[in-house]
Amino acid sequence: MEIFWFIPTHGDGRYMGTSDGARAVTYNYCKQIAQAADELGFNGVLLPTGKSCEDSWIVASTLVPATERLKFLVAVRPGLVQPTLAARMTATLDRFSKGRLLINVVAGGDPVELAGDGLFLDHDTRYELTDEFLHIWRKELAGESVDYEGEHLHVQGGTVLYPPVQKPYPPLYFGGSSDAAMDVAADHVDVYLTWGEPPDLVRCKLDRMRELAAAKGRVLKFGIRLHLIVRRTEEEAWQAADDLISHLDEETIANAQRIFARMDSEGQKRMSQLHNGDRSHLVISPNLWAGIGLVRGGAGTALVGSPEQVAERINEYAALGIDTFILSGYPHLEEAYRTAELLFPLLPLRNQENHDERSFISPFGEMIAGNELPPDKGKKQQDAVNEKATVSGAHKSQ
C-alpha cells in the first residue's frame, strides 16, 4: 500500500475549533511537514484547495525543491481554470518536479464559495463541465491537438508543446459520491477516492464504481482519506480524541453544521449524517470516530486506537481493494513522526522494498553505548504481520 500525508494549508493546531494551541501555517512550517513526510517514507502529500487554503499549485511548486522523493497531490478545479491552461500547468510542474505530480480533480461542493469564485453552475452541471474539461485535458497532455465544442467548453487547436514526464499524463485522483460524480470517475480517473466511512458503506461504493468502470472497459484503483489518532495504548488514543474536541462548544458545532447543510456535495452530506452534529454518537464503527467532522468540512473521521488496532482497521480497508491511504493528524508535524514510528512497522508499505536506507521508513534510534545499533523491533513486527497475512491467505485459498 501507499501512505500519503497532508499539508494543512488551511490551519493546524492541537485542538479543533479554537485558537488555543493553534499555530501559524507559514511556508517554513509547511516545509517542515513536507520534509518530515519525505524523510519518513510517506509516498506523497495531499494539498487542500478552496478559499480557506493557500493555493495548492503555488505551495507545491515551492515545496518540490525542498523534497527529494515526495509526490504532490494538487487540485485542478474545472470551471475555475480553462483545460488548456491547466494542462500546461500540469506539464510544467510534472517536468520540473521530475514526475512527482499527481492531480486531484475537484468540482467543488459549496455554492456560496463557488459564487465568490465566479462559478454559478448547479451540482450536476458542474460535473458535466468536469467531464468536458477532462476530455480536453487528457487529450492535450497525451500529445493531441484538440478541437472541441461542448455544452460548456469550446477549444480550437488546443495543444501542449512541452509534454509531462509521466505518460500519458500524471495520474488523476477523484472523489465524489453522487451519481454524476461517479459517472465522471468511471470515464476518466485513475484512482477513485472515498472519505472514511464505515467499511460496509465503503464496500458498497467501491463495488458500484467497479461496475461503472467495467461497463466502460476500464479498471480503477482506490484510495481513502482518513485522520489518525494512534497512541501506544487504546486508552491513550481515546483520551487524545477527547482532548482534540475538548474546546468545542455547542454553538461552534451548530454553526459548522449550518455551513455544511448549505453545500450540495453528496460526500459532505454523508459525512454529516454519520454524527448529525451530536457529540454523543461519534464512534460509528470499531475504532472509527467522527468527532473531527463536527467542525471540519470534508474528511471528518479518524481511526483511533493502538498501533495494532489501527493497522487492523487499515488492513480491513485494504481488503476491500484500497491501496492508497491519505492520512493526517493534529498537529500534522508531530503526528507525521508518530504515525511513522508507531504504524509503519505494522503495514506492508511499498517503500519498505528499499532496505538499504535505514532512515527511509522511520528513525532507527540512537546508538547503544555509542557502539551498537538498537534491536530492530519494527522488522520483527512486520515479519509477524507478513506471516499472519500469509496464513490468512492460505486459509482463504483452501
Q: If you write DSSP's letter for every residue of 135-189 in order, what string do you get?
A: HHHHHHHTT--EEEE-SS-EEEEE--SS--SSSSSSPEEEE--SHHHHHHHHHH-
Which pLDDT tens digit goes with each residue over 183-224?
999 999 999 999 999 999 999 999 999 999 999 999 999 999
The pLDDT confidence band at residue 278, using thresholds 50, 70 and 90, is confident
Is-contact 168 141, C-beta < 8 A?
A: yes
pLDDT at residue 276, as a whole number? 86
**What is the arithmetic mean of pLDDT over 170-176?**
97
- Is the model's pLDDT at 250 over the cut of 80? yes
Q: Residue 320: is its pLDDT beyond 80?
A: yes
Specify the 3-state DSSP secondary structure of 221.
strand
pLDDT tens figures, 337-392: 999 999 999 999 976 444 445 444 444 567 666 666 677 665 666 666 566 655 55
Question: How far is residue 258's CA from residue 295's CA, in Å, rounded to a whole number?
Answer: 10
8 A C-beta contact, residue 191 and residue 104:
no
Q: Where are the domains of the chain?
A: 2-363, 368-398
Write the DSSP symbol of residue 374: P
Between CA 57 and CA 65 the distance in angstroms is 14
- Find the angle CA(187)-CA(190)-CA(195) to the nearest 5 degrees: 100
Rounded CA-CA distance 264/178 in Å is: 10
The pLDDT of residue 375 is 74
* Percent over 70 (pLDDT), the chain: 89
- Give the separation between CA 351 and CA 27, rounded to whole angstroms: 27
End-to-end, the C-alpha distance of the chain in Å comes to 25
Segment 286-305 mean pLDDT: 96
29 CB-side CA count, 13 A: 18
Per-residue pLDDT, 397: 45
Model confidence over 1-48: pLDDT tens digits?
Answer: 999 999 999 999 999 999 999 999 999 999 999 999 999 999 999 999
- Residue 316 has a CB neighbour count (10 Å cut-off) of 16
| Pair 267, 174: CB distance under 8 Å | no
What is the predicted pLDDT for the residue at 265? 92
Nearest to 69 by CA among 91, 29, 42, 104: 42
State pLDDT tens for residues 102-136. 999 999 999 999 999 999 999 999 999 999 999 99
Mean pLDDT of the chain: 91
Mean pLDDT along residues 268-279: 89
∠ CA 361-231-30 to the nearest 5 degrees? 55
- The confidence band for 280, taking pLDDT boundaries of 50, 70 and 90, is confident
Q: Does domain 2-363 have CATH number 3.30.70.3270?
A: no
Residue 261 has pLDDT above 80, yes or no: yes
User: What would the mean pLDDT of 146-161 be, rounded to a whole number?
Assistant: 97
